[in-house]
Amino acid sequence: MPETLLESELFGHAKGAFTAARSDRKGLFLQADQGTLLLDEIGEMPMTVQPKLLRALEENTVRPVGSDEEVPFDVRLITATNRDLPSRVDGGEFREDLFYRINVIQLELPPLRARGSDVLQLAQHFVDKFVDQSGKQVTGISEPAAERLLSYSWPGNVRELRNVMERAVALTRFDKIAVDDLPENIRKYRGSQIVVGGDDPGELVSLSEIERRYILHVLQSVAGNKTLAARILGLDRKTLYRKLQQYGALND
Question: CB of 14 within 8 A of CB of 66?
Answer: yes
Average pLDDT over residues 83-100: 92
Structural domains of the chain ordered from first start? 3-102 (3.40.50.300), 112-187 (1.10.8.60), 201-247 (1.10.10.60)
How far apart, in whole angstroms, are the C-alpha atoms of residue 223 and residue 207? 25
Question: CB of 169 within 8 A of CB of 130?
Answer: yes
- Place 153 in a pLDDT band, splitting at 50, 70 and 90: confident
Give the residue with greater pLDDT, 128 vs 205: 128
DSSP symbol at 38: E
What is the chain's alpha carbon radius of gyration, rounded to the nearest angstrom? 24
| pTM > 0.75: yes or no | no
Question: CB of 40 within 8 A of CB of 28?
Answer: no
Of 26-30, 65-69, 106-110, which one has max mean pLDDT? 26-30
- Pairing of β 25-26 and β 12-13: antiparallel
3-state secondary structure of 177: strand
Give the residue with greater pLDDT, 210 vs 177: 177
Question: CB of 21 within 8 A of CB of 12?
Answer: no
Average pLDDT over residues 238-243: 87
| Percent of the chain scoring above 90 in pLDDT | 48
- Place 160 in a pLDDT band, splitting at 50, 70 and 90: very high
Any residues with CB less than 8 A from the CB of 11 and at least 6 apart, and which?
A: 27, 29, 52, 56, 62, 63, 64, 65
pLDDT tens for 23-33 read 888 889 999 99
pLDDT computed for residue 201 by the predictor: 61
pLDDT tens for 192-220 read 555 555 566 655 667 787 888 888 888 88
How far apart, in whole angstroms, are the C-alpha atoms of residue 214 and residue 212? 6
Average pLDDT of the chain to the nearest whole number: 87
